Amino acid sequence: MVYFSIFFVLILLCILNIVKNDNRELQFATIPMALALILMAGLRFETGADYGSYKAIYDITANEFKPTYGEPLFAILNYLIGATVNSFNALFFVIALFSVTIKFYCFKRYSKYMFVSIILYFVTNYLSQDFGQIRQGFAIAICFLSLKYLYEGEKRLFYVLVVFATLFHFSAVIFLLALYTDKFKFSWAKMLVIWSICFLLSTMLSVLSSYVVLLDIASKGNVLGDKLGYIGDDTYGVKVPINLGMFFKMMILYLATTFRDKFGQDDKYISRFINLYFIGGCVYFLFSFAEIYAGRLSVYFIFFELILIPYIIYCCKETVFKLLFFGVFLLYASYLLYQQLYVIKGNFLLPYKYIIGF
């Protein structure tokens, strides 16, 4: 099976990455792996979540210029592809080309162990967004890239890229919160207290959201109404239950802040990535009254566990402890892959089908 084949190759590359303790020695493998993921996402046929929805959007916008149909830039891209090559799969390929390439570039720039980031990306963001919710997957890539300019003090370019991402998926506007990641440095205990408060506040928001349903705001037929329409929905508007992922987030935050604060294992970026992850937890717990809001809004920040986990492994002094930590995270990655393939309804990842019919 193609998913497990890629997963096992990535495991081997992760082990080599950790043992060699240097990203540069494995640069030869980055282009083939990126190409494999681009082709896999770009040439799929009737595979992945939202495949049918995107086909319907393409059929509407590919032959008629409708920039106000959903997110403007995505509608325009559909039209341009329809006017040139007229291929639905060309849309997937173009999105995958830029989304995967940008993320690989950023992993190389920020990750202590690039292939540890890539294997975690594969079982999370790749299969969920780049293989399903492609607009948001692309928006996440653009937001990730925007950090380069934020960290270098070029805020105008940061704003431009976030606006660009928002025009592909409106939820990306929340990434403007990244502006404040250099404004605070909390201990793990303080962060945990704030997350707990956010979780309690979600109950109040749940009560307020019921008034939105009662006022029937969600049926107005506009973009805001469509987004508010998820409130009260039996599938998307359900409350997030206490789950394993919540405790995993707490563990990641604890380990990252511990290595940063107690052992002086810091660099010019890691505190900001910890703060981004913390903001993601705040958003996740605050909007936990509706599963789709918690997931769609927090993912722009929770995504950075793909940077924090390699950092945690890197901070271990002995190679044997690095591999031990990797083994723990690998178990979690394996669990996530199983969830993606066999448990989560609507993913439609199995069987994987190419556009060429096999």
- pLDDT (tens digit, 9 = 90+) per residue, 224-256? 555 555 555 555 556 777 778 888 899 999 999
In whole angstroms, what is the distance from residue 187 CA to residue 258 CA?
9
- The least confident of 134-143, 188-197, 212-221, 347-356 is 212-221
Report how far residue 253's alpha carbon sits from residue 358's, in angstroms, rounded to the nearest whole number: 43
The mean pLDDT value for 196-218 works out to 69
Peptide bond into 67 cis (omega under 30): no
Nearest CA-CA partner of 232 in 262, 203, 211: 211
pLDDT at residue 145 in the model: 97
H/E stretch holding 119: helix 114-121
Q: In this model, does residue 198 exceed pLDDT 80?
A: yes
Whole-number average pLDDT of the chain = 88
- In Å, what is the CA distance from 51 to each residue of 57, 75, 106, 188, 346? 10, 16, 27, 40, 10
Note the pLDDT of residue 235: 55
- 203 token code pair: 């109950």
Q: What is the DSSP string of 163-196?
A: HHHHTT-GGGGGGGGGGGTTS----HHHHHHHHH
Q: Which residues contact 107 (CB under 8 A, 6 or more apart)?
A: 114, 117, 118, 121, 306, 307
Please report the pLDDT score of residue 24 as a whole number.
87
Residue 357's pLDDT is 45
Q: What mean pLDDT is predicted for residues 297-307?
A: 96
What SS3 state is found at 236? coil
- In this prediction, residues 292-319 reach a mean pLDDT of 93
Judge whether residue 217 has pLDDT over 70. no
* Domain ranges within the chain, ordered by starting residue: 1-172+317-358, 181-315
Q: In the predicted model, is pLDDT for residue 195 greater than 70?
A: yes
Nearest alpha-carbon partner for 90 in 41, 36, 142: 41
Higher pLDDT, 345 or 120: 120
Packing angle between helix 114-121 and helix 88-110, nearest 10 degrees? 140
Two tokens at 104?
Answer: 């690989």
- The pLDDT value given to residue 182: 87
pLDDT band at 214 (very low <50, low <70, confident <90, very high): very low
pLDDT digits (tens, 9 = 90+) for 90-149: 999 999 999 999 999 999 999 999 999 999 999 999 999 999 999 999 999 999 999 999
What single-letter DSSP state applies at residue 44?
Answer: B
Tokens, residue 172:
């990306």
pLDDT tens for residues 61-90?
A: 988 888 878 889 999 999 999 999 999 999
Q: Average pLDDT for residues 17-35, to the nearest whole number?
A: 92
Which pLDDT score, from 0 to 100, does residue 29 have?
94
Helix axes 244-262, 305-315, angle to 10 degrees: 50
CA distances in angstroms from 234 to 229, 283, 286, 292, listed in the order given: 11, 21, 19, 11
265 has pLDDT over 60: no
Distances in Å between the Cα of 74 and the Cα atoms of 77, 131, 146, 165 are: 5, 16, 19, 10
Rounded to an integer, the average pLDDT of 190-218 is 74
Task: Determine contact, residues 270/256, Cβ cutoff 8 Å.
Answer: yes
- Residue 216, pLDDT > 70, answer no
At 261 the pLDDT is: 80
Q: How far apart are CA 72 and CA 87, in angstroms?
A: 19
